[in-house]
Amino acid sequence: MIKNLTSGTAVFTQPSGPIKCAGAPQMIAYLAADFWRSQGELEDTRVVLLLLTPVMFGVKVFD
């Protein structure tokens, strides 16, 4: 789906409950955005990362 999207809105989500690696769901959003940038398609693509938790990371020093 990432390779086929050339414009529009891409929505990525992160689970609200505890998970082993909080960065994993975010990583695909970052990798996808980098791919679209390398293809010259990021200007036409809106990347949305939805977090259902009040903070991005559970460890305060990283949040």
pTM, to two decimals: 0.78
| Predicted local distance difference test score (pLDDT) of residue 63 | 62
Please tell me the distance from the alpha carbon of residue 33 to that of residue 31, in angstroms, as a whole number.
5
Reading the chain (63 residues) residue by residue, the pLDDT tens digits are 999 999 999 999 987 777 787 778 889 999 999 999 999 999 999 999 988 777 777 677 766
Please tell me the distance from the alpha carbon of residue 62 to that of residue 29, in angstroms, as a whole number.
18
